[in-house]
Chains A and B, each alone.
Chain A
Amino acid sequence: MSDITSSAFIREDLVAERPAPVKTTGFIGLVRTRLFNSPTNILLTIVGALLLWFTIIPSVRFLVVDAVWSGKDRTACLAENTGSAVGACWPYIQAKLPQLIYGFYPEAERWRVDLTLVLAVVLLLPLLIPRLPAKGFNAGLFFFAFPVVAFFLLHGGGLGGFGLSWTAGLLQLFDDSIIGAGQAVLSLSKSSPIGPLLWVVGNLILLVGTAIYWLIYPLTWLRDQLQGTGQSVWTDFAITAVVVTLIAFFLGGGVRAGWRALASSIAAFVAVAIIIKLMGLDHGGLPIVQTNLWGGLLVTLVVSVTGIVTSLPIGIALALGRRSTIPLIRIFSIAFIEFWRGVPLITVLFFATYMLPLFLPGNFTVDGLVRALIGISLFTGAYQAENVRGGLAAIPRGQGEAAAALGLSWWKMTSLIVLPQALRHVIPNLVNSFISLFKDTSLVSIVALFDLLGSLRASFSDPKWSTPSTAFTGFAFAGIIYFMFCFGMSRYSLFVEHRLNAHRRN
């Protein structure tokens, strides 16, 4: 034992302790390595600190320290009355808050707006949390049932009929247009060099129109009979329910396998009946609030949610059309997408406001809000199409080929195999599009709709609250609201992206 310790190559005393290495973690380490490690960096740090000093401090002073928190009118927010520098004039926001949120929505009816918002949140939250089940059912509720309920809640009004009346009306409109075209061709044939040919074509079109008229005659006759009775909505509803359920039953597989389709169809119609009964849609519904009374955050949210809900199906259809091998459909999709992507949204809104009414029949007026919604849906749809196309391109060909080998039709292959994977790939891009849509809704204030920004701008002109700090206060308030929505969405998109790429991390 002892001769091992006395060996020449073994140290006899301990090495002296070396000083601890310079700390590179924690706050001190951060300061040392990332802020003051070289002369240039010290200079940059000082510049950055000065920059913050001259932006953060005045902002905080304006928003909190120097702010006026209570008062009745502009006198509370004037420097000569407070005796010191005046920051934000918060009583102005308090006074204008209802206008900034509801616009001129009647005070007695505002619970409807609140209820709609609560419904939206209750439906949206389970969609956004990935762990919760029943995404398909939930998405169906949010994308199909919620818009209809929200319309009757916000706008009010009731039903005049149901599926049967609508189908009959639509077919009649189509038939009228065909007969009109036939008559136009006939009148053209009198003054044209190829008159006889046009005469034949016109009469052929008229013949088709008349045939359709007699084909749909039972339907229109039934509708006219229903309108006469007192319970037209419920009778119409019952007929529609029976017809649709039977169709679902037989398409679903008849006596062999159609029971599931039958059950879900009945459940859906029962739910619709409950909603109709609850909201009293069969006898007029809630009092109507015209959309020119809507305003503030309500319009911003209505426009953005409608844009989100309608742009996605448009985008999916256009993306599938652009990848289709059928020439006409592909060319149409490409032209449509590139057209809307090539023009600014504001010209689209001008188009929807001034040009669209010219394209509709003279007796047919479209509400200003609906016009803007149409423009925004088409515009965002084109952008979503490019997002969805990116997702479709990311799906390996083998997926589609495997589905074809299993004997699935094109529709089943697309809806069951390709689209679910493609859409999941592009959720972050879709959410980013929603963010820009939400920001772009502020443009509707240019075509005389009072969204949050429009209401804010309108409130500046109120002489009761005109002070030097009014404009800054208003922009601070609206800015915080916009920032919360957009920042929240962008964080959510990052979260989803992180989750989707979980398998790529190591």
Chain B
Amino acid sequence: MSTEARKPPAQIALKIRRVLGGKTGWNGIAVQFAFAAILGWIAYEIVSNARANLENQHIAAGFGFLRNNAGFDVNQTLISYTGSDTFLRVFVVGLLNTLIVSVVGIVFATAIGFIVALCRLSPNWLLSRIGELYVEIIRNLPLLFQILFWYLAVLAALPNPRQSISLLGISFVSNRGLVVPRPIGESGFEAFLAVFVFGIVASLALRFYARRALFERGQMIRIWPYVLGLLFGLPLLTMLVFGPPFSFELPQLKGFNFAGGSRIIPEFVALALALSTYTAAFIAEIVRAGILSVHSGQMEAGASLGLSRGTTLRLIVVPQAMRVIVPPLTNQYLNLTKNSSLAVAIGYPDLVSVFAGTSLSQTGQAIEIIAMTMGVYLLISLITSAVMSIYGWRISRSLGA
């Protein structure tokens, strides 16, 4: 004769109140209504003012202008572009320029940052002081100051093309930029590319197989000789069979400037240099903090297990340090990408410079253009933070297991 436990009352009203008003209940709902009314009022004012102002200036709202001809030139384009192309193509050109300078900056910033961090952690007193000096000086000067310094002072002081500084006779540095040999695809290019890609894929597959063998059967497979053969031996063999994949077109001085070769414009050099040295100082601090965050007992524990110093570092210290390093490091990469918008100060044709600068002043479509530009950066940062949360989730899962 057991009686069923009585179910608690449904409390629907309470739940609704909780969802709509949070802990504060009906008061919270009232606050929200007032807040929504104020936001609505501001939005109404903005829209009506913008409409009236655009009408006064005879500007047609909308994205139709993207199909109009731009009519101006851009001095660095990764895809073919002429003045008769549309504003949409200008947008793409600018975006690609932003991405290329960011990628180059990220690569160099990471390399310099790790080197400076190692200097700061070095037992050598002089080297650690030099690392500290670098970080302190670079971090306490504005980035724009450094970009302008490289562009207006250092690069402008370089000689003109006729007296340019030659690097091994194949590259030339002058105040018109850096001229390097241009690779030109030859007959053996396709075969070379195919073999190269095959080598990478096969090496990855081999590594995957070896790790599985290690974890499931405890079997150690030595794979590095095969990987070396796949990555270098095979392409070399193809080169011998099919002939060289590409040749280089060397730059030559003709009159007052160089003919042939590829020219890297000085704006790009200045921007990439300033971005990578500036971000490197922050990366160095992150890496240093990450390595110091691993408890010294971890190193000692590794040694007491009989692992060598290198193995301890590779298997125990670095993975733990990476967990601390990666999130702020990604943040710095994001900062570098956002900071590349300072290109507008020296006229490097990035997204902000050609689209939010030149295109805006030509069309006057301020709302659309600035919204598109902000949207691109917002998208990049949202994607990065999404990737980072997945990373954080995986880390926490692996720690919990």
Q: Which residues of A contact B (CB under 8 A)?
A: 30, 34-35, 41, 44-45, 47-49, 51-52, 177, 180-181, 184, 324-330, 332, 338-339, 341-347, 350-351, 354-355, 357-362, 435, 439-443, 445-446, 453, 457, 460, 468, 471-472, 475, 478-479, 482-483, 486-487, 490
Which of the residues B44, B122, B345, B378 comes within 8 Å of A343, measured between beta carbons? B378
* B24 CB-CB contact with A under 8 Å: yes
B101 cross-chain contacts in A, Cβ below 8 A: none
Give the interface centre of A177, A329, A344, A345 by most chain B CB atoms within 10 Å. A344
Q: How far is it, in angstroms, between the C-alpha of A160 and the C-alpha of B61 when the chains are bound?
A: 39
On whether the beta carbons of A44 and B345 are closer than 8 Å, the reply is no
Residue B397 lies at the interface, judged by CB distance under 8 Å to chain A: no
Report the bound CA distance from A325 to B370 in whole Å. Answer: 33
B378 surroundings in chain A (CB, below 8 A): 339, 342-343
Min CB distance, B334 to chain A, in Å? Answer: 9
Indicate if the CB atoms of A342 and B149 lie closer than 8 Å: no
The answer to whether A343 touches B144, judged by C-beta atoms less than 8 angstroms apart, is no
Point out the residue from A180, A327, A339 that lies within 8 Å of B19, measured CB to CB: A327
Question: Which B residues between 28 and 83 are near A, CB-CB below 8 angstroms?
Answer: 28, 31-32, 35-36, 39, 41, 44-46, 48-50, 52-54, 56
Q: Mark B97-141, 1 if CB is under 8 A from A, else 0.
A: 000000000000000000000000011111100100000110111
Q: Is the CB of A35 within 8 A of B125?
A: yes
Inter-chain contact A324/B22, CB cutoff 8 Å: yes
Tell me whether A359 and B46 are in contact (CB under 8 A).
yes
Tell me the complex Cα distance, A460–B149, Å.
12
**Which one of A35, A330, A339 lies within 8 Å of B124 (CB-CB)?**
A35
Chain A: CB-nearest residue to B44? A181
Q: Known: A346-B344, A355-B370, A362-B56. Contact between A35 and B126, CB under 8 A?
A: yes
Q: Which residues of B contact A (CB under 8 A)?
A: 19-24, 28, 31-32, 35-36, 39, 41, 44-46, 48-50, 52-54, 56, 122-127, 130, 136-137, 139-145, 148-149, 152-153, 156-157, 338-339, 341-342, 344-345, 352, 356, 360, 366-367, 370, 373-374, 377-378, 381-382
Q: How distant is the Cα of A41 from the Cα of B128 in the complex, in angstroms?
A: 12
Beyond A350-B352, A478-B145, is A355–B22 a contact (Cβ under 8 Å)?
Answer: no
Residue of B nearest to A324 (CB): B22
Picked from A325, A339, A355, A471, the residue with its CB within 8 Å of the CB of B153 is A471
Whether A482 and B142, one on each chain, are in contact in the complex, defined by CB atoms closer than 8 angstroms, is yes
Taking the nearest CB of chain B, how far is it from the CB of A396, in angstroms?
18
Taking chain A's interface residues, is the majority helix, strand, or loop, or is none over half, making it mixed? Answer: helix
A359 neighbours in B (Cβ, 8 Å): 45-46, 49-50
Pick the contact of A48: B28, B36, B124 (CB < 8 A): B124
Q: Is B141 within 8 A of A439, CB to CB?
A: yes
Q: Tell me if B32 and A347 are in contact (CB < 8 A).
A: no
Select A326's contact among B31, B48, B126, beta carbons within 8 Å: B31
Contact between A344 and B341, CB atoms less than 8 A apart: yes
Partner of B366, one of A48, A355, A360, A445: A355
Provide the residues of chain A in CB contact with B149, threshold 8 Å: 475, 479
B366's closest neighbor in chain A, by CB?
Answer: A354
Q: Which of A48, A347, A441 has the most CB of B within 10 A?
A: A347
| B28 touching A326, Cβ below 8 Å | yes
Please state if A344 and B338 are interface contacts (CB–CB under 8 Å): yes
CA–CA, A350 to B367, complex, Å?
A: 10
Bound complex: CA of A350 vs CA of B356, how far in Å?
A: 8
Which residues in B have their C-beta under 8 angstroms from that of A181? 41, 44
> Within 8 Å CB of B48, what residues of A?
180, 184
- 12 example contacts (A-B, Cβ-Cβ < 8 A) are as follows A35-B126, A44-B122, A48-B130, A52-B126, A328-B35, A330-B22, A351-B374, A446-B342, A453-B148, A471-B157, A483-B140, A490-B139
Contacts of A351 on B, CB cut-off 8 Å? 370, 374
| A41 and B342 alpha carbons, distance in the complex (Å) | 40
Across the interface, which residues of B come within 8 angstroms of A342, CB to CB?
Answer: 377-378, 381-382
Q: Are B381 and A341 in contact (CB under 8 A)?
A: yes
